Amino acid sequence: MASTDSEFVKAASLSELQAEGRKLVNRNGQAIALFYHEGAVHAVDNRCPHMGFPLTQGTVDEGVLTCHWHHARFELSCGDTFDPFADDVPTYPVEVRDGDVYVRPTPIRDAPPEEHWTARLRVGLEENLRLVLAKSVIGLDDAGALAEKPFRIGVEFGTDYRAAGWGPGLTILAAMQNVLPALREDDRRRALYTGLRHVASDCAGEPPKFDQPSFAVRDVGAARLKEWFRENVEVRDRDGAERTLRTAIETLPQEAVAEIVFSAATDHRYLDAGHTFDFANKAFETLDHVGFECADQVLPSLVAGLTTATRSEELSSWRQPVDLAAILETTYGDLPDYVADGEGETWTEPDGFVDTLLEDDPHAVVDALVEAVRHGATTEQLAAAVAHAAVVRVAQFSTANEFSDWNTVHHTFTYANAVHRATRRTDAWELYRGVFDGATSVYLDRFLNTPPAQIPAGDTDADPDACLSALLDAFDEEGEVDTTGRLVADYLAAGGDVAALQATLGEALLREDANFHTLQSLEAGFSQLALTDDPARRRTVLVAVARYMSAHFPTRREAEQTFRIADRLHRGEKIHEA
Ligand code: FES
């Protein structure tokens, strides 16, 4: 193959191209579609950027190339698409010399790869295009810009373009960013793609968020800002709450801001089935990734949820047949005294404490927690115990329940995990209320463990590798909830590496169209796993995660199909060409 210099290669005779109108050439491993149209030569990637259909089989008319597969149209000279779902098609420089067409088989890029894929990522978010999002994540990874950059862009977009504020999309994105280190390399791309497409979907068609400014005054102080914020949330005044929160963000340290937000999030019982507190915790975890200097971008998005949430004391289940809300209100009135009683004492969780939390007696549960507080138990210690009780509810969930009941134990678990995480951020006494609320929800979920599924001890003679392989197979089948729990227990009993199990669970999760709760479930499980060294508790956590996932799998795997197409297109593979 002759070439005029190091870049351009001879591709075709001009007269032949003029006669045929189009020609497919392969140069340097690239399938290039040449067109002669309206007196000019054009070269584009032969693979339609949508799903790879060969564009030499398309139609050219009045400067427009139309793909015959899903009818995406491209401006022939620059490759830009009329139909954003398909993405732009790469073009190549051409020259005509001495009756021959030469092409440089390196696509024309309007910008360096990182800049190009960053711009495409923004388009994917704006137009809710999962294919473009998948390509952008892959492109940014190849450009060395995974994972902070797409995460940061997703957070900015999600907080700017959803008047309803922080929602499931941003929660998923933060959860996926949290679990990245536990995933295999390829699955890290899938995780970010998953988070970003949920953010885009959450924002699609939504009005944007317009900000309220902070107050001009700078020296209000933490105590008064806390009271102002809680009062505004109490009366559901979104604007007043946002102005107060922004002032706090600009004038107070991170721990004080966390105290303000988490106090307001526990002024009423178990807001929105726990989601409101969970969202608040995820917003702070997001700041762990992007820095507290982004707090004014991130935290105000919580205000809408805080001011509109359903307060569980308004629900009959928290009032009848036992007035749980009243029991808690009375307890919370005395909490400062209980905390004072425990000052200077060191509490150690007694044997059977979690079993007490799982009892069928709300008074026994509250009494146990009160006694613990009076003997110096910290919010973090009690939150850990309640989170584990919530994990047990998932691990022992009876498959005889209605399918939707999985949501109920899931809500309690993710709420309790969020409270546990929040107690590590601030030691505000108000977080005891999150602990008690979580324990009350564990109590309310007790019938979902009837009869309780057994948490298997595991087979020490099992083959760990075979367990992992069988686990992936079991996720591929319906009705294998107990099988997956047993395989996890066998794997651990046989000495299997926990990190490899986590990576396998991540793989199983990310190949599916996992819903919001299932994505949350894995992340909350990994979060709890990181907070305990106790082998039995770690086993229960991982059994719970596997059982929850198995109950919701398999799915259609549509998102994975899109990701694979994007990956193959990015790697230059042929998809539909002979
Ligand atoms: S429009 Fe070309 S493959 Fe879909």
Q: Stretch 220-231: mean pLDDT, rounded?
A: 98
The position carrying tokens 């005509």 is 96
pLDDT computed for residue 1 by the predictor: 39
Helix extents (H) in 311-404: 324-342, 353-357, 362-374, 379-395
Is the entire prediction scored with pTM above 0.85? yes
pLDDT, average across residues 464-471: 98
pLDDT at 190: 98
51 within ligand 1 shell (Cβ under 6 A): yes
The reply to whether ligand 1 has any atom less than 6 angstroms from the CB of 48 is: yes
Tell me the CA–centroid distance for residue 491 and ligand 1, in Å: 44
Spatial CA neighbour of 154 closest among 142, 137, 141:
137
pLDDT at 305: 98
Task: Please report, rounded to a whole number, the percentage of residues in the chain having pLDDT higher than 90.
Answer: 93
- Residue 86 beta carbon below 6 angstroms from any ligand 1 atom: yes
Would you say residue 6 has pLDDT above 80? no
Average pLDDT across the chain, whole number? 96
Residue nearest to atom 4 of ligand 1 (CA): 70
Q: Pick the more confident residue, 145 or 93.
A: 93
Q: Candidates 45, 47, 50, 88: which one to mutate for ligand 1, based on the most atoms within 8 Å of Cβ? A: 50
Distance 46 CA to ligand 1 centre (A): 11
274-306 pLDDT, tens digit per residue, is 999 999 999 999 999 999 999 999 999 999 999
CA torsion 396-401-405-408 (nearest 10°) is: -40
Atom of ligand 1 nearest to the CA of 55: 2
Predicted local confidence at residue 418, as pLDDT: 98
Average of pLDDT values for 520-537?
Answer: 98
Q: Which of 25-34, 66-75, 321-330 has the lowest mean pLDDT?
A: 25-34
310 and 292 in contact (C-beta within 8 Å)?
Answer: no
CA of 53, closest atom in ligand 1: 3
Residue 313: pLDDT band with limits 50, 70, 90: very high
Q: Which atom of ligand 1 is nearest to the CA of 52?
A: 3
Q: For residue 350, is the peptide bond before it cis, meaning its omega torsion is within 30 degrees of 0?
A: no
Amino acid at 62: E
Pocket residue to mutate for ligand 1, from 66, 70, 73, most atoms within 8 A of Cβ: 70
- How sure is the predictor about 108, in pLDDT bands with cuts at 50, 70 and 90? confident
**Cβ of residue 72 lying under 6 Å from some atom of ligand 1:** yes
Bigger pLDDT: 379 or 109? 379
* Percentage of the chain lying above the pLDDT 70 cut: 98
Residue 74 pairs with which residues in a beta bridge?
65, 81
C-beta 365 within 6 A of ligand 1: no
From the list 105, 100, 135, the residue with the least C-alpha distance to 120 is: 135
Whether pLDDT at 60 is above 70: yes
Q: How far is the CA of 572 from the centre of ligand 1 (A)?
A: 16
Q: List pLDDT tens digits, range 339-355.
A: 999 999 999 999 999 99
Residue 67 Cβ < 6 Å to ligand 1:
yes
Å from CA of 515 to ligand 1 middle: 27
Say whether pLDDT at 550 is over 50.
yes
Distances (CA, A) of 244 to 151, 233, 279: 27, 10, 19
Instruction: Report the residue among 51, 55, 65, 88 best suited for mutation to probe ligand 1: largest number of ligand atoms under 8 A from its CB.
Output: 51
pLDDT surpasses 90 at 574? no
Give the mean pLDDT of 298-324: 98
pLDDT band with cut points at 50, 70 and 90 for residue 576: low
Provide mean pLDDT across the span 432-451. 96
Query: pLDDT per residue over 494-523, tens digit each?
Result: 999 999 999 999 999 999 999 999 999 999
pLDDT band at 5 (very low <50, low <70, confident <90, very high): low
Q: How far is the CA of 55 from the centre of ligand 1 (A)?
A: 9
pLDDT of residue 577: 55
- Coil, strand or helix: which one is 47? strand
Rounded mean pLDDT, 382-395: 98
Q: How far is the CA of 115 from the centre of ligand 1 (A)?
A: 25
Nearest by Cα to 133 from 197, 207, 54, 208:
197
Confidence band (pLDDT; 50, 70, 90) for 2? very low
User: What does 487-537 look like in DSSP terms, one character per residue?
Assistant: HHHHHHHTT--HHHHHHHHHHHHHTTT--HHHHHHHHHHHHHHHT---HHH
Once rounded to an integer, what is the mean pLDDT over residues 519-539?
98
Q: Structure tokens of 345?
A: 């004492």
Q: Atom 1, ligand 1: which residue's CA is nearest?
A: 70
pLDDT of residue 578: 44
